[in-house]
Structure 1
């Protein structure tokens, strides 16, 4: 039986403990808060004892992770030690500076690419890492046996092991995790000054885009600070695209203002705006027109979205969406699931959008294209309304 020690019993630490216990590992727990450790224990993530571990997992915030790793390397001289923070270069540098002689070889960074908007041990799940990438990040000084120990831990938690250098990891997560957090946050922040009627028009698109904006500000401040260079590099590219979009939109606004300049009081105001712009947003000779700029930006988004892995990390798959009107009442969704199951069709994804001012919801059921017509026919025959 392999023995692991989890230091930090929040969402990630507790989930790792639950996953390892399910895999038959012996897990001990440690947290600066005795109450937090006791809660994780009571949830089944491990025991609170001082059994000597084979591998230690430091699930501490990025700003203290290097110090805690160094402490664990000193306390457990026979154990491999990993941290699971979402930045790796800064922590590896900190460990190299803080760890005692002969111990840094037992340190191997790692990062499970999984999480939730909720935090704390009560949000822990044993299947949180199943099918998700778990990046193992050795340093140039990491011993092979320490790397093997961390790889085995990630595999036992049912993660998909990927090995990267710290630089490769930090550049990758800047693009796929850290910048999306910034963009979701900036989008959500634009809602603060909107009146409730405007925000009440929000649909599923806004909910999808802003979902991760509910994440912990303190934790994300630490993450962004730890990967500042990588995030800044990606945001500079975003800034260029945003500037192109702004110029294109300004040119189109200028065009609309000019065409409506004689249409009464509002037209006069638009005409004045156009004159103030002075045509400075007009494309240079031979340059793409404003609509072409926007279309290319949107097409680049389509191309990028198509690269995102599909279910279980597999190749992207195009699904058909069957939109069903369901009463907003207990049991409705369960009945819909049962009908889909009776049709012998698997639900690949699901979104719910609630209608404004009506006690119904739209269930957007994603299925394989070959099954969509059959599902529509089956649901109609059993009384469901298809949107």
Structure 2
């Protein structure tokens, strides 16, 4: 890969530019706000102009709802030979791209997993993607050149490629990210019903459980509604388990017999086992 275009001069786009430039890739930063592109150039993320010839790859790093129209625009302009993007939902992406008349053969959906506290990073970093998983979601229409270029991009950024078809990606994202964000938000919202003396008892455990509830509500509304079906399926599973546990605990409260809650013990054991499946530090290679 010799050249790349970054469309969107936010923290993710600039971080991609910084990472690629470490490897000698000539990067071009394009943004609807010329001042944002100039700031990206000052940071060293790339030159603030469109490439004179089609770049080897373009990374569409704009908010999820803008990806399809921006992709369509740059495909018409011939900004690059192949395209990828960085949004957290894939089925809706491909549906919207098709509706906007995009060429799906040159598109590989992408999702770098770099969220911090429920939000994407506020500042660009050249090492942002080091050791992190980066999902790529080609379809049957995807050209092999496009997939290979996307794989090369991920490798140059120092991330670990995880290949998932769009439907599998969205179900996985609902399980490990989207539904947990909603659960954390529900747990945090319950604090609004507590009096001041109760909230003063909150410690680090509660902070850890609710940390991601600090995410941007508008961005997360877009993500959750775009992946509504898989997220709803996860919530149904949570609700069913919560209902069973509530009934068991009420029976314990009624009977006064602490030896009864076998389902509770099983859930707590399962929770510990499930947490053990989460990959270790981000610098640990993933399967």
What are the superposed Cα offsets for residues 213-238 of structure 1, whole Å, 9 maximum, x if unpaired? Answer: 11111110010011111111111111
Aligned to 1:87: 89
Aligned to 2:274: 304
After TM superposition, the structure 1 = structure 2 runs for residues 111-260 of structure 1, keeping only pairs within 5 Å, are 111-117=111-117, 123-256=123-256
Higher normalized contact order (CA 8 Å, seq sep 6+, divided by chain length): 2
C-alpha spacing 1:48/1:294, structure 2 compared with 1 (3 Å): same
- Aligned partners of 1:69 and 1:7: how far apart in 2? 9
Q: How many residues align?
A: 283
RMSD between aligned residues: 2.2
* Pair 1:63-2:65 in alignment: yes
Aligned to 2:15: 15
What are the superposed Cα offsets for residues 82-114 of structure 1, whole Å, 9 maximum, x if unpaired? Answer: 1110000110121122225xx321111111111
- Structure 1 stretches (4+) deviating beyond 3 angstroms? 117-122, 313-316
SS in 2 for 1:109: strand
**TM-score, normalised on structure 1?**
0.69
Shift of 1:200: 2.5
Aligned to 1:361: none
| Of 238, 260, 265, the match for 1:295 | 265
After TM superposition, the structure 1 = structure 2 runs for residues 340-355 of structure 1, keeping only pairs within 5 Å, are none
After TM superposition, the structure 1 = structure 2 runs for residues 260-271 of structure 1, keeping only pairs within 5 Å, are none
- Aligned partners of 2:120 and 2:280: how far apart in 1? 28
- Aligned partners of 2:276 and 2:201: how far apart in 1? 28
What are the superposed Cα offsets for residues 171-200 of structure 1, whole Å, 9 maximum, x if unpaired? Answer: 111101111111111111111232333222
Shift of 1:77: 6.3
C-alpha spacing 1:205/1:193, structure 2 compared with 1 (3 Å): same
Larger radius of gyration: 1
Q: Structure 2: state its 5+ residue gaps.
A: none
- Aligned partners of 2:120 and 2:275: how far apart in 1? 31
Q: Does the 8 Å CA contact 2:118/2:212 hold for their aligned counterparts?
A: no
What are the superposed Cα offsets for residues 310-365 of structure 1, whole Å, 9 maximum, x if unpaired? Answer: 1234589xxxxxxxxxxxxxxxxxxxxxxxxxxxxxxxxxxxxxxxxxxxxxxxxx
C-alpha spacing 1:15/1:37, structure 2 compared with 1 (3 Å): same
Shift of 1:73: 1.6
Q: Structure 1: state its 5+ residue gaps.
A: 260-288, 317-387
Shift of 1:296: 1.1
C-alpha spacing 1:116/1:248, structure 2 compared with 1 (3 Å): same
